[in-house]
Amino acid sequence: MRDNIEPYSPCPCGSGKKYRFCCQRKKYDQPSQASSLPSDLVILGDLEEGRRLHAKGMECMAKGEYEKAISWFAKATEESGGIGGSANNLALCLFITGKHEEAVRVQRRCLEKVPLPNPFGYANLSIFLLFSGDEEGAAEAVSHAITLEAPNSDATIKVCEALSHFKRHRDILETADASDFKNDPHVRFYTGVAAANLGDHERAIWDLNCVSAKHCKGGMAQKYLQHLKNKTEPNTIRKDWPYLLPEEYYINPKQLGKDKVLSAALLSRRYMVDFVEALLNDGPKEMADAAMPILELSSHPEATALLWLILKGTFGSDQLRMNAGIILVKKGEIQQDEAVKFLNRGEFTEQKLLSICLNSDFKFAELPPELEPSYRKLVIEGRKRSANWPKIVREYEKLIPKAPQYYPFWYNYAVGLVQCKRSKEAETILRSLVAEHPEYLFARSTLLTLLGSGGRFDEAKELVQATELPKETHPDAYVAWLVSLTMYFEAIEENADAFKCIQHAQTIAPDNPNVQELWEAWKDYDEEKDTSPYLMLKLHKSKYW
């Protein structure tokens, strides 16, 4: 017999904890474990003390104090021999805190030593192995889990969670329907989503209606119910009904930032691709900047498949599709000059994602080897915030006569002149470079910036219209041109073009400081409304200052 108290509501006993982690567990979980113990099972320890320690661990776990929980669960496991769920929860807390290999060892040891059905443990292990890149082992573990009878609702929920990673919708329905805990709201969430994915919308509505708005899955359930009632598709990459939120993948970005070895390993695993998909489904606009670089770096085939789904589908913004396409170009999946049909500005049209070949090894001219150390030193000096530009200009004046044909010397000299407020001299040099080396985008970009900053927009327009992109160049040169175009289009209030340029630059060189600065201003641009917080603030200032 079951009660109707919402598991995630405050416990009626007044403890201040959620019902699921308090009296519900005492009422159902512990007695069921005790009653399931075989009569001939020998326990070398105090089972009651193990339960007491386990309860302490659950209190910490409910508060998110996983390190403290580990200590309690370890003591409980030692006392009870792993009976009562302590080893399962110990493994889970180890996994959540980034101790992944130890989590697998603890879970395997529990499954080997405790002679009781443990579907929760096998589901745990399945998720751990999938995270570790062992897809075959993960599939075997969850397949074994569904053959075992669940002793409590948590076990049924955990098995459904593991199955959801493999999109085994029918197995979720069959496992849950055969369980004594099929009416648990969390279980009903899984069966409702499974039914939706299988096209049984009537059952999906019935089951999802059993999940209250206050439940941890309530937000997803309510959103899905609205789609089902309206007979609309969910706004997801695959137009499917996901089970898991990003946080249910147990990936801590801060942890990954510290552990470079783990980060590199995860990039080769399907689990990370699934996590990125969950991120994008949860917030395509907000999470794209974090998600897309992961897909670019990932070597798993599913990363490429997901990028194709984004490019060829209707999910997200034009910018997201453009990003996906450019990453596919970088991965060699699309040729530089290949036209691809995708949705842009409301229409499916064939377009070239890159009209220019970007080559990081591209050289503009041959630099005499003996001059390379001096040149490199000047370039590094020029990148410093406190650069001594008059000194740099003097050094270039000494260097240029040694290789006057090496036109990057002249360009960097012109940049130095601009920094020294000698713009007229710089402009003369830049115009000469544009005339003699039209493919040299660095010179064009700086000249365009110079003209724009001086309010000479007619001349700037002539320069832009006269520019023909080279077939091949260095990425830095192309990005410099895009940055200058962004500033030019912003100055003449062609906002859509400005946004297009900076979004293109951002996909090519997201770590470029100039790109980052402009992207911060433009990333929230709404093309339909032709505005953004940045543009509105700019307009407000122009009215009052």
Average pLDDT over residues 284-313: 93
Locate tokens 């030019």: which residue?
488
Ordered DSSP codes for 58-102: HHHHHTT-HHHHHHHHHHHHHHHTTTTSHHHHHHHHHHHTT-HHH
Is the predicted pLDDT of residue 212 greater than 60, yes or no?
A: yes
Residue 307: exposure state from Cβ atoms within 10 A (0-12, 13-18, ≥19) = buried
**What pLDDT does residue 9 have?**
54
Give the span between the Cα atoms of 316 and 114, in whole angstroms.
Answer: 48
**pLDDT, tens only, 381-392:** 998 988 999 999
Give the span between the Cα atoms of 417 and 422, in whole angstroms.
Answer: 5
Least confident of 46-60, 243-257, 272-286, 363-377: 243-257
Is the predicted pLDDT of residue 12 greater than 60, yes or no?
A: no
**What pLDDT does residue 27 have?**
43
**pLDDT, tens only, 121-153:** 999 999 999 999 999 999 999 999 999 999 999
**What pLDDT does residue 543 have?**
44
Give the span between the Cα atoms of 236 and 197, in whole angstroms.
Answer: 12
> How confident is residue 20, by pLDDT bands cut at 50, 70 and 90?
low
**Encoding tokens for residue 319?**
């910018």
Is the predicted pLDDT of residue 313 greater than 90, yes or no?
A: yes
Is the predicted pLDDT of residue 31 greater than 50, yes or no?
A: no
Is the predicted pLDDT of residue 40 greater than 90, yes or no?
A: no
- Tell me what percent of the residues of the chain surpass a pLDDT of 90: 70
> What end-to-end distance do the CA atoms of the chain give, in Å?
71
**What pLDDT does residue 388 have?**
96
In this structure, which amino acid lies at residue 483? V
Least confident of 10-24, 316-330, 410-424: 10-24
Is the predicted pLDDT of residue 19 greater than 70, yes or no?
A: no
Give the span between the Cα atoms of 330 and 313, in whole angstroms.
Answer: 20
Least confident of 215-229, 390-404, 529-543: 529-543
Average pLDDT over residues 71-93: 89
CB-based contacts of 248: which residues, under 8 Å, 6+ apart? 161, 278
Q: Is the dihedral of CA 132, 135, 140, 144 positive or negative?
A: positive
Is the predicted pLDDT of residue 541 greater than 80, yes or no?
A: no
Is the predicted pLDDT of residue 2 greater than 90, yes or no?
A: no
SS3 472: strand
> How confident is residue 34, by pLDDT bands cut at 50, 70 and 90?
very low
CB-based contacts of 35: which residues, under 8 Å, 6+ apart? none
Is the predicted pLDDT of residue 30 greater than 50, yes or no?
A: no
229 in Cβ contact with 205 (< 8 Å): yes
**What pLDDT does residue 540 have?**
59
> How confident is residue 21, by pLDDT bands cut at 50, 70 and 90?
low
Average predicted confidence (pLDDT) for the chain:
88
355 in Cβ contact with 363 (< 8 Å): no
Give the residue, 499 or 38, on which the prediction is more confident. 499
**What pLDDT does residue 440 have?**
96
Least confident of 20-29, 59-68, 109-118, 404-413: 20-29
Q: Measured between alpha carbons, how far is residue 19 from residues 27, 30, 32, 127, 517 in Å?
A: 11, 15, 18, 26, 48
In this structure, the dihedral spanned by the alpha carbons of residues 438, 443, 448 and 453, taken in order and rounded to 10 degrees, is -160
**What pLDDT does residue 225 have?**
98
DSSP-derived pairing of the beta strands 472-473 and 357-358:
parallel
> How confident is residue 35, by pLDDT bands cut at 50, 70 and 90?
very low
Is the predicted pLDDT of residue 44 greater than 60, yes or no?
A: no
Give the span between the Cα atoms of 89 and 74, in whole angstroms.
Answer: 9
Give the span between the Cα atoms of 39 and 522, in whole angstroms.
Answer: 69
Phi, psi of 183 (to 5 degrees): -95, 0
Q: Measured between alpha carbons, how far is residue 372 from residues 33, 366, 378, 412 in Å?
A: 75, 10, 10, 14
Is the predicted pLDDT of residue 164 greater than 90, yes or no?
A: yes
Helix axes 201-208, 218-230, angle to 10 degrees: 140
Average pLDDT over residues 386-409: 95
DSSP designation for 526:
B
Average pLDDT over residues 242-255: 87
- List residues bridging with 351 in a β-sheet: 340
Phi, psi of 342 (to 5 degrees): -155, 165
**What pLDDT does residue 542 have?**
53
Tell me the H-state helices in 166-233.
169-177, 185-197, 201-208, 218-230
**What pLDDT does residue 139 have?**
98
Give the span between the Cα atoms of 449 and 440, in whole angstroms.
Answer: 15
**What pLDDT does residue 501 have?**
92
Give the span between the Cα atoms of 226 and 504, in whole angstroms.
Answer: 36
Give the span between the Cα atoms of 202 and 435, in whole angstroms.
Answer: 70
Average pLDDT over residues 164-190: 97
Average pLDDT over residues 417-442: 96
85 in Cβ contact with 117 (< 8 Å): no
Least confident of 104-108, 207-211, 398-402, 520-524: 520-524
Tell me how crowded residue 512 is: count the other CB atoms within 10 A of its CB: 19
**Encoding tokens for residue 358?**
């970007």
**What pLDDT does residue 426 have?**
97
Q: Measured between alpha carbons, how far is residue 36 from residues 50, 70, 71, 94 in Å?
A: 16, 25, 26, 27
Average pLDDT over residues 392-400: 96
**What pLDDT does residue 351 have?**
85
Q: Measured between alpha carbons, how far is residue 116 from residues 1, 81, 102, 173, 486 in Å?
A: 24, 11, 22, 24, 65
> How confident is residue 517, by pLDDT bands cut at 50, 70 and 90?
very high
Nearest to 75 by CA among 97, 52, 94, 92: 52
